Amino acid sequence: MSTPAQGPERPSPGRPTAQDQQRPGDDIPAILTDLALVTLFVVIGRIQHEESLAIGDLARGALPFWAGLLIGHVILRLTGKDPRSLAWGGFLVVATWALGHAGRLMLTQGSDPAFLAVSAAVLTLFLMGWRLGLRAVGRRLQRSRR
């Protein structure tokens, strides 16, 4: 507890703060946003290479990246951290990219070196971009309330 003279209580190292705590269902909007952006990443790639956008073809191209993303979300869900955090987004970029390309190789879809670089850049932009935007809006709202 804190007294007025001491100021607010500071969390002990390694102990989650109220801001770090996750409520049930908090991760659903983040998961849906990430899935939509990974799907957009695949759609853009298929359009760029003039490939079919039929549902089956789109799903076959997206499946390894969806799997990597969802595995990343499951791992991070166990930590109880905020799914909108930059750390969460950074982990998801790595999980989605690494597991997505591993899945492509297992499905004999291949992973050209140029695609490795482009996919890393686009996934970083998409999965970190909305989190950075949300953070900027949150800071602006905090400043306007002061």
Walk along the chain (146 residues) and give the pLDDT tens digit of each residue.
Answer: 444 555 444 444 444 444 445 566 678 999 999 999 999 999 999 999 999 999 999 999 999 999 999 999 999 999 888 889 999 999 999 999 999 999 999 998 888 899 999 999 999 999 999 999 999 998 888 888 87
- Tell me the H-state helices in 24-145: 27-48, 55-77, 86-106, 113-145
9 backbone dihedrals φ, ψ, rounded to 5° = -70, 135
**Would you say the pTM of this structure is higher than 0.85?**
no
Q: Work out the burial of residue 29: count CB atoms within 10 Å of its CB; fewer than 13 is exposed, 13-18 middle, 19 or more buried.
A: exposed
Helix (H, G, I), strand (E, B) or coil at 65: helix
The number of residues making up the chain comes to 146
Q: What is the DSSP-derived secondary structure letter of residue 52? A: -
Torsion of Cα atoms, 65 then 29 then 88 then 47, to 10°:
30
